[in-house]
Amino acid sequence: MPAVSKGDGMRGLAVFISDIRNCKSKEAEIKRINKELANIRSKFKGDKALDGYSKKKYVCKLLFIFLLGHDIDFGHMEAVNLLSSNKYTEKQIGYLFISVLVNSNSELIRLINNAIKNDLASRNPTFMCLALHCIANVGSREMGEAFAADIPRILVAGDSMDSVKQSAALCLLRLYKASPDLVPMGEWTARVVHLLNDQHMGVVTAAVSLITCLCKKNPDDFKTCVSLAVSRLSRIVSSASTDLQDYTYYFVPAPWLSVKLLRLLQCYPPPEDAAVKGRLVECLETVLNKAQEPPKSKKVQHSNAKNAILFETISLIIHYDSEPNLLVRACNQLGQFLQHRETNLRYLALESMCTLASSEFSHEAVKTHIDTVINALKTERDVSVRQRAADLLYAMCDRSNAKQIVSEMLRYLETADYAIREEIVLKVAILAEKYAVDYSWYVDTILNLIRIAGDYVSEEVWYRVLQIVTNRDDVQGYAAKTVFEALQAPACHENMVKVGGYILGEFGNLIAGDPRSSPPVQFSLLHSKFHLCSVATRALLLSTYIKFINLFPETKATIQGVLRAGSQLRNADVELQQRAVEYLTLSSVASTDVLATVLEEMPPFPERESSILAKLKRKKGPGAGSALDDGRRDPSSNDINGGMEPTPSTVSTPSPSADLLGLRAAPPPAAPPASAGAGNLLVDVFDGPAAQPSLGPTPEEAFLSELEPPAPESPMALLADPAPAADPGPEDIGPPIPEADELLNKFVCKNNGVLFENQLLQIGVKSEFRQNLGRMYLFYGNKTSVQFQNFSPTVVHPGDLQTQLAVQTKRVAAQVDGGAQVQQVLNIECLRDFLTPPLLSVRFRYGGAPQALTLKLPVTINKFFQPTEMAAQDFFQRWKQLSLPQQEAQKIFKANHPMDAEVTKAKLLGFGSALLDNVDPNPENFVGAGIIQTKALQVGCLLRLEPNAQAQMYRLTLRTSKEPVSRHLCELLAQQF
């Protein structure tokens, strides 16, 4: 075997290197280098012509100096001269100098083209290889322009030596990748594919890389390579461990070539030809079988080489994703590696299993390893292995194991490395949202995240929890309660204060009934955190305070005191100072109506994709798609999020959040026709003591006047004309969409929200009702970038409704620009009791195609409910008066939401009736009373709701003076719990 001694061949170089190594300091080294540079410069400039050896030696010294990190500004010409030498060693140093220094002087390239051309034409394989390596190493466009046409010829020439072919293939690959336009396709491409059959394994090894690259760019032109690759692979895989002699590495035949062939096959779908496919499947099975055989050597090199092929085989199996048997075998094999003593194998098995989890065939098989993976998360010493374990848990998560996985991730978070905490937080937040069976679990999980890793909970995560709580009224009371409890911890993270501030500001009223969380207690709890918080948080808290003034008039004096304090009014921070001044003024001068309008409950957040998911994607980059399982073919995905609306009678918003993760659930079966009834979960802010019973121009009108066309002087005058001209006959409009009832149901308990949304259009609703009058704002948003034309929304009264309800609409513009929103105002008058809502028909042209959509307008009879307070005695008296069988409607039903007294109370208030305390002898029960106001008549209503927590059932009884109204209200209200 060859051996070389130190500095073999160039004594001067060895001496110089030794000198440099002996330098005691950087200064000494620089001194020595400068001395040498001066010496070399003088030699190069000297009168005496240098011989090839000296030139080579000095150029090599310059190269060494450059590699030490010093600039070299001369010697290039001498290096170029070396290229023309006939001696290999001199030529090699010349080429090396150019390859290494070419970045710093691209002028060089033009000078050397001639020498390269000569070497390529020399028919001396050694010189040809040197030239080809130089082109491959430099790979610039200039090189491509000069040589791209010559190299294919060298590659396929019958008389080229094997080593030249190897270099030519990779040289061409380099040029093709750098400037594909310069490489002419032609007759050579067909012959290149046949290099897969070449006798010389080295040529095949190099050629496969070129062919793979060509296949990626022009898959159709190189299809023939599939069968050739399969037969080559088959020969290697089935050969005995010594058959391939030189190409056997630790008893493994041609491991690198096998890996490359398997990667080439991943450019294509499974072979269509049955024979080829059969042969390939046989290969894959052989590899899987060999993995089970006892090792032929104990060396790690043997197992690594073997497993390199195995992992690439599994990649191909996953790529095909069509052979359930192979996928499950692959999964089992990886399962064995999960507990292997080699860390590398555990890591790779976790990584590979992550992609297996996304296949419907192997998802279940992957899930069986959950305990091992959780254990890896706890015990692995290498953070990157733990990270892969977390990725795999995320990928294997579905409805069945979400609670376990989320709780393990939360536990891991307490000790997780700082580097991956944020990612774990994002993953937990996404899984908790995606697989939430009930949203109280979701709220608990996110609050736990903030508690454990508050610093890593980014804005996206805590914004998200606010969006979801705002959009889902079934969780608002729970969220308020939980966040209130969390804030009682002596030290809580600032993010907790932010979430708490926002939620209590919006929904604090839902827990205000409990003396332990009465308004003053809520306020003093929040305010106790105030001084420790950053400016942004304090600004948010100030907004909470003004909301408190609106929600809880009893806190007004205290809060005004806080706002008035010098530390606020004269705060150096302009944002805080401005808020304090403005909120203080607002609370002092504005009437309760104005205050209530300004501080109305936040409208639902319209959303398409979870901002958290978007963030995780950004973090992981485009290549991480598989781990993010957004494109996941999960067999159980049909019930993902669909479970959020477990039965049609759930009224809580299906809401945009249901398909936040892009997994639109199959629409639940249509709800039974729901007609009347609305009312807000929250105490209606208009029901304050000074509420105006009329829709006439009050201060709130003035406030809104910028947002809408001039209000009519008297709404009564407008409403007196109950037949709007734009109202087409019912025959013109289609039947309501299947989800119409369900969408309508969302609004039984609230007045504002997103009524409808698809890919083109979003319709938002904001409405207010007073006695028998109502005003509704519809917001039509064009979600596309294209203008809608002939846009015409109209309201239709089917059947008798025309005599029961008058709806006056205003026309809207016929064009809606892309991304724009138009608003339509509806004035509504309830003439007499009604059971079916009006229809809203929306028609427009989008890109020339007519679109039509019919929805039910969220106007139900309980919108015209006026609460009535009465004493127990009066209640029982009236209850007895309404004792005719047809005046009573009763329903016994199962609870669909957690049975929380506070939430129930809020829902009943929202429904519109007054809640009467100390009437029912059983304090668990609720009784309420109210009057439905119509133009023609008033309908008195009494209700009683009896929860049975043990049985998770309710009994609801309604008594009204009109039989259909009793039944109708009973049906509507029964769906709220």
Partner 1 sequence: MKLKGLGKRCKRREDLEIRFILIQNRAGKTRLAKWYMQFDDDEKQKLIEEVHAVVTVRDAKHTNFVEVLAISVADSLSVLQFRNFKIIYRRYAGLYFCICVDVNDNNLAYLEAIHNFVEVLNEYFHNVCELDLVFNFYKVYTVVDEMFLAGEIRETSQTKVLKQLLMLQSLE
Q: Which of residues 338-367 bind partner 1 (CB under 8 A)?
A: 343-344, 347-348
Q: How far is the CB of 783 from partner 1 (least distance, A)?
A: 22
> Would you say 235 or 620 has its CB closer to partner 1?
620
Of the candidate residues 58, 247, 507, 791, the single one contacting partner 1 (CB under 8 A): 247
Candidate residues 17, 111, 586, 760; the one interacting with partner 1 per rule CB under 8 A: 17
- Rounded to the nearest whole angstrom, what is the least distance from the CB of residue 308 to partner 1 in the complex? 4
Amino acid making up residue 908: L
**Contact positions with partner 1 (CB under 8 A) in 931-950:** none
754: nearest Cα among 855, 835, 831: 855
For residue 386, give the nearest of 368, 401, 403, 374 by alpha carbon: 374
What is the three-class DSSP state of 753?
strand
Residue 33 vs 206, nearer CB to partner 1? 206
Site string for partner 1, 262-281 (x = CB under 8 A): -x------------------
Cross-sheet strand order for the sheet of 849-856: 788-796, 839-846, 849-856
Quote the CA–CA distance of 609 and 631 in Å, as a whole number: 13
Between residue 452 and residue 491, which ones bind partner 1 under the rule CB under 8 A? none
Q: Does 213 bind partner 1 (CB under 8 A)?
A: yes
Candidates 382, 417, 713, 869; binder of partner 1 (CB under 8 A) is 382
For residue 822, give both structure tokens.
Answer: 């138009």
Q: Does 598 bind partner 1 (CB under 8 A)?
A: no
Point out which span in 81-89, 502-510, 700-708, 750-758 binds partner 1 (CB under 8 A). 81-89
Is 710 among the residues that bind partner 1 (CB under 8 A)? no
Q: Contact, 606 vs 757, CB < 8 A? A: yes
Question: Between 856 and 875, how does the x/- string for binding to partner 1 read (CB under 8 A)?
Answer: --------------------
Residue whose pair of structure tokens reads 């848990």 in the numeric block: 393
Closest contact distance (angstroms) between CB of 152 and partner 1 is 15
Instruction: Tell me the C-alpha distance between 711 and 699, whole Å.
Output: 12
Q: How far apart are CA 808 and CA 825, in angstroms?
A: 8
Of 122, 189, 227, 384, which lies in the binding site for partner 1, with binding defined by CB under 8 A? 384
Stretch that binds partner 1, among 303-311, 471-479, 767-775, 907-915 (CB under 8 A): 303-311
Taking CB under 8 A as the criterion, the residue among 55, 260, 386, 579 binding partner 1 is: 260
Taking CB under 8 A as the binding criterion, the range among 300-308, 667-675, 691-699, 856-864 that sits at the site for partner 1 is 300-308
Nearer Cβ to partner 1, position 287 or 596? 287
Q: What is the DSSP string of 784-825?
A: SSS-EEEEEEEEE--TTHHHHEEEEE----S-B-TT-EEEEE
Query: Which residues make beta-bridge pairs with 14?
Result: none
Among 103, 415, 759, 883, binds partner 1 (CB under 8 A): 103
Write out the two tokens for 912.
Answer: 């519109």
7 binds partner 1 (CB under 8 A): yes
The stretch near partner 1 (CB under 8 A) out of 297-305, 461-469, 536-544, 790-798 is 297-305
Q: Does 256 bind partner 1 (CB under 8 A)?
A: yes
CB 86 within 8 Å of CB 119: no
Q: Candidates 167, 555, 745, 966: give the one binding partner 1 (CB under 8 A).
A: 167
Report if residue 126 touches partner 1, rule: CB under 8 A: yes
Report if residue 246 touches partner 1, rule: CB under 8 A.
Answer: yes
Whether residue 52 contacts residue 82, with contact meaning beta carbons closer than 8 Å, is answered with: yes
The C-alpha angle 915, 916, 918, rounded to 5 degrees, equals: 140
Are 443 and 429 contacting, i.e. CB atoms less than 8 angstroms apart?
no
# binding residues, partner 1 (CB under 8 A): 80
Pairing of strands 821-830, 865-867: unpaired
- For position 206 contacting partner 1 by CB under 8 A, the verdict is yes
Name the one range near partner 1 by CB under 8 A: 72-80, 99-107, 443-451, 960-968.
Answer: 99-107
Q: Which of 47, 48, 74 is nearest to 58 (CA)?
A: 74
Q: Is 54 in the site for partner 1 (CB under 8 A)?
A: no
Taking the complex as a whole, how short is the minimal distance between the CB of residue 800 and partner 1, in angstroms?
A: 57
Q: Which of 67, 185, 704, 852 binds partner 1 (CB under 8 A)?
A: 67
Q: Which amino acid is at 324?
A: P
Q: What gap in Å lies between CA 931 and CA 914, rounded to an integer?
A: 10
Residue whose token pair is 């376990």: 404
Q: Is position 123 an interface residue for partner 1 (rule: CB under 8 A)?
A: no
Asked if residue 717 binds partner 1 (CB under 8 A), the reply is: no
Q: Residue 793 half-sphere exposure, CB side, CA atoms within 13 Å? A: 28
Residue 930 and residue 908 in contact, taking contact as beta carbons nearer than 8 Å: no
Element holding 295 (H helix, E strand): none
Q: Is 924 in the site for partner 1 (CB under 8 A)?
A: no
Please state the length of the chain: 977
**Site membership for partner 1, residue 137 (CB under 8 A):** yes
Task: Tell me the CA distances in angstroms from 175 to 160, 182, 518, one per residue in order.
Answer: 20, 8, 75
Given the complex with partner 1, which of 35 and 87 has the nearer CB atom?
Answer: 87
- By CB under 8 A, tell whether 139 contacts partner 1: yes
Nearer to partner 1, 419 or 489 (CB): 419
- Please tell me the distance from the alpha carbon of residue 169 to that of residue 188, in angstroms, as a whole number: 11
Element (H, E) at 957: strand 953-960
Instruction: Give the residue among 252, 204, 203 at the shortest CA–CA distance from 228.
Output: 204
Q: Which of residues 176-205 bind partner 1 (CB under 8 A)?
A: 177-178, 201-202, 205
Closest listed residue to residue 482, CA positions, set 458, 451, 453, 457: 451
Structure tokens at 701: 């009108």
How far apart CA 75 and CA 95 sit, in angstroms, is 13
List all residues 6 or more positions away from 925 whose beta carbon is below 8 Å from its beta carbon.
944, 945, 946, 947
Q: What are the helix (H) ranges across 273-382?
A: 274-292, 300-320, 324-337, 343-356, 363-367, 370-379
* 128 near partner 1, rule: CB under 8 A: no
Q: Which of 120/308 has CB closer to partner 1? A: 308
* Minimum separation from the CB atom of position 662 to partner 1 (A): 20
The DSSP element (H or E) to which 892 belongs, if any, is strand 888-894
Task: Output 7 or 648, the one with its CB closest to partner 1.
Answer: 7
Tell the residue number behind the tokens 């427009």, with chain if given.
844
CA 562 to chain CA centroid, nearest Å: 41
Assess 442 for contact with partner 1 (CB under 8 A): no
Shorter beta-carbon distance to partner 1: residue 342 or 639: 342
Query: Which of 245/950 has CB closer to partner 1?
Result: 245
Which residue from 128, 131, 136, 406 is in contact with partner 1, where contact means CB under 8 A?
A: 136
Nearer to partner 1, 137 or 332 (CB): 137
* Residue 6 within binding range of partner 1, rule CB under 8 A: yes
The one segment of 38-46, 152-160, 172-180, 399-407 that binds partner 1 by CB under 8 A: 172-180
Residue 259 binds partner 1 (CB under 8 A): yes
Among 33, 225, 254, 410, binds partner 1 (CB under 8 A): 254
| Residue 307 engages partner 1 in binding (rule: CB under 8 A) | yes
Establish if 236 lies at the interface with partner 1 (CB under 8 A). no
Three-state SS annotation for 160-225: CCHHHHHHHHHHHHHHHHHCHHHCCCCHHHHHHHHHHHCCCHHHHHHHHHHHHHHHHHCHHHHCCH
Least separation in angstroms between residue 781's CB and partner 1 is 24
* Region 615-634 residues binding partner 1, contact defined as CB under 8 A: 618-624
